[in-house]
Amino acid sequence: MRELPIAPFHPYLHPMARNPAGTPQHPGPQNPGSAERFNEERAAYTVASAQPDLEGGVAVIRDMVKVLKPVPGVYRMLDTRGDVLYVGKARSLKARVANYIQIAGLSGRLQRMVSQTRSMEIITTNSEAEALLLEAQLIKRFRPPFNVLLRDDKSFPFILLRADHAFPRIQKHRGARRAKGIYYGPFASAGSVNSTLNALQKLFLLRSCTDSFFNNRDRPCLLYQIKRCSAPCVGRISETDYEALVRQAKDFLSGKSGAVQADLERQMAEAAENLQFETAAMLRDRLRAATFIQGSQAINAAGLGDADVFALAAKGGVMGVQAFFIRGGQNWGHRAFFPRHTSDVDEASVLASVMLQFYEEVPPPPVILVDRDLAERELIEAALSEVATRKVRISIPERGDRRKLLAQAQRNAVEALERRLAETGTKARINRELAEFLELDAPPQRIEVYDNSHIQGTKAVGAMVVAGPDGFEKGQYRKFNIREAQSNDDFAMMREVMARRFRAFGGEGGDENASSVPSAQGKPGHDTILPDLILIDGGKGQMSSVMRVLEDIGIADDIAVIGIAKGPHHGRDGREVFHFPDGREKQLPVNSPLLFHLQNLRDEVHRYVIGAHRAKRSKAITASPLDEIPGIGPARKRALLLHFGTASKVRAAALEDLQRAPGVSETVARKIYDFYHAGG
């Protein structure tokens, strides 16, 4: 979905004063553990302290209502820290926000939200449909604890048929759709798009290589030999014949697969009749690829064209939404979503929120089938039509093939929810066993796992991965370029990583030299979060190094620390030794699910830190001494190396020789010469 421009929507913006005088504030958890647990604790603030806070929240909202106008827009509730508690939209901001003053008519969830509200921000829009889209966008950005959240960290893959080359390339695509071409999708998973892409290569023989690879070929590659490419790079097919293959691919992906298959069958019969058996065999293989693609469509969606199907199931206070993706009458996969913060929210509102957040990134199809009536169906249709720049219709089928398809989605939603509940129960049991084994007061909500990687002390990198109750939180991963520790001292490296990770808790501020995977806005940063458990890949030495740093900072008593090291047989028997800060050691049976869980945590940090180390090493291999010269970019560096041959010859060159290099002016030549001869 396109990013809505926020700037034009600011006829007025009213951030209220933070922390009203005399209003008690939420103290916040002493050891939040994780962003998610922080939000849960904040949402579950006790009734005893909520009553005076409720009065303060109502006062803030009442002051805001006085200056609001009856215009459409989006409002944000903020707490004492300025974090977003809730994002809502309104046809009339004045009337909608005024509802929060009527405490008796609010649910318990909304009363808790009002009790924590200490300021509000307002954005006006041109229409209610724009407000609805902006609301979904802001929910995805800030992930407020009182909004229904669609938790899905991965973007959906597409198949891209590029249109910026005489011989278009077919490829898998994720992320922003900036490249010129036609996008087909979304597919439910990388596996489904990969299998479809492989079959399409066999069926239409379109190239999948990059333009640079294409331009530098002088003979066909392996894909031509295994009949997955027509080798346009070396002229094995004319541009006209390749365009015919591209047209067939477009027809097939657009739902005209029957016509494409009929054409292939006709060509195969003609080739066999003319005794062109090799051509007939090639066409036969292409037909088999088409049959494979159609045979993999487990859902009968013929005649539906482009459509999405959504069905919701609820059980035990948990809701699951099943989505089917139909494109060109073909099933391109299905995905189950399990939204969060759904307590006290009706099922239709949860489904609507999931759909809007889903289409914030994925273009909506012309038809959307749902299994229940949505309260604002016409408004949602208008908003999605604006995004798609064409009519989008939401309907509940009552009979026929569409009704059968919806019933299948409903069955899948129930089954997916049951599997989810079973998996959640297993994870909860393992977390309880983990707390018991490691002698923790409660199951850990945030686990941080640490390791480092280097070669003889060079290119050293430390890494932290984070795991929560629902699995790895990749948006919280972090890597550290080791700078202070010398040689191959693993203990010093671990001390440096710990000191930089927890420096903020000792009053020294955050670490500017560490990098992390970008996380969703609105979540607390690393400098505000303490883990419940630190898992160190190492034994007594690493354990003592970590504890020394935590004690110096003053947080050793707030965090449980465990070291995991290979057993006496160096892990060949599957045994691991767990080291406690007091020197004790424990082991788990080799077939213990808890042991597998802890090994999985350790293996994930291995994977992440080794990848970071390899990337750093690869970057160093391609580095050049010329990179250190200020003002010398890639183009001039390439010109200098082509002219002189090596960086050492550039360094030894006279000023006059440097001036004769192509693209090097007198000023640049003087800069290069002075850089290498500063002491001359």
Closest to 28 (Cα-Cα) out of 81, 76, 78: 81
d(CA 372, CA 100): 28
Distance CA(373)–CA(392), nearest Å, equals 16
Q: Within 13 Å of residue 55, how many CA atoms lie on the same side as its CB?
A: 8
Question: Residue 241 and residue 246: Cα distance in Å, rounded?
Answer: 9
**pLDDT tens digits for range 226-249:** 888 999 999 999 999 999 888 888
Task: Give the chain's mean pLDDT.
Answer: 79
The three-state (H, E, C) secondary structure of 58-105, written as one string: HHHHHHHHHHCCCCCEEEEEECCCCCEEEEEEECCHHHHHHHHHCHHH
Cα-based distances in Å from 443 to 33, 313, 380: 11, 28, 41
Q: What is the pLDDT of residue 64?
A: 93
Residue 50 binned pLDDT confidence (cut-offs 50, 70, 90): very low
Query: Would the CATH topology of 307-420 be identical to that of 447-618?
Result: yes
CB atoms inside a 10 Å sphere around CB 316: 9
Q: How far is CA 551 from the centre of its chain?
A: 35
* Per-residue confidence (pLDDT) for residue 463, from 0 to 100: 87
**Distance between CA atoms of residues 208 and 286, nearest Å:** 17
pLDDT for the residue 631: 67
**Residue showing tokens 């494409």:** 260
Least confident among 67-76, 283-292, 381-390: 283-292
Residue 591, Cβ density class (10 Å: 0-12 exposed, 13-18 middle, ≥19 buried): exposed
513, pLDDT greater than 80: no
For every residue of 488-545, DSSP letters joined together read: T-HHHHHHHHHHHHSGGGGTS---TTEEE----TTS--GGG---SEEEEES-HHHHHH
- pLDDT, tens only, 335-349: 889 998 888 889 999
Which CATH architecture fits 625-676? Orthogonal Bundle (1.10)
Highest mean pLDDT among 71-75, 453-457, 668-672: 71-75
Q: Which pLDDT tens digit goes with each residue over 466-493?
A: 998 878 888 889 888 877 766 567 788 8
Least confident piece of the model among 201-210, 303-312, 452-461, 521-530? 521-530
Q: Check residue 507 and give its pLDDT.
A: 59
Amino acid (1-letter code) at residue 412: N
Distances in whole angstroms, Cα of residue 153 to Cα of each of 145, 233, 358, 429 = 17, 38, 11, 25
Average pLDDT over residues 117-139: 93
Nearest to 319 by CA among 412, 417, 419: 417
Residue with tokens 């007594």: 540
Predicted local distance difference test score (pLDDT) of residue 574:
59
- Of 360-369, 378-387, 446-455, 625-634, which range is least confident? 625-634
Residue 43: is its pLDDT beyond 50? no
Cα atoms in the Cβ-side hemisphere of radius 13 Å centred on 339 = 35
Element (H, E) at 250: helix 239-253
Overall average pLDDT of the 403-420 stretch: 90
Please state which CATH number belongs to domain 307-420: 3.30.420.10
Residue whose pair of structure tokens reads 């424990």 in the numeric block: 586
Contacts of 21 (CB under 8 A, 6+ apart): none
pLDDT, residue 641, reads: 75
- CATH number, span 447-618: 3.30.420.340
E strands, 147-273, where? 158-162, 170-173, 181-184
Statement: residue 634 has pLDDT above 80 = no
| Top mean-pLDDT range of 56-60, 340-344, 505-509, 517-521 | 56-60
Token pair 């097939």 in the structure block, residue = 252
β-pair partners for 204: none
Q: To which residue do tokens 């800030």 refer?
A: 142
Span 7-142 CATH architecture:
3-Layer(aba) Sandwich (3.40)
188 confidence band (pLDDT: 50, 70, 90) = confident
Q: Is the peptide bond before 186 cis (omega within 30 degrees of 0)?
A: yes
Inter-axis angle of helices 277-295 and 257-273, to 10 degrees? 160
CA distance 231 to 214: 9
Residue, of 296 and 124, whose pLDDT is higher: 124
Domain map (residue ranges) of the chain: 7-142, 158-295, 307-420, 447-618, 625-676
Residue 258 — very low, low, confident or very high, per pLDDT cuts 50/70/90?
Answer: low
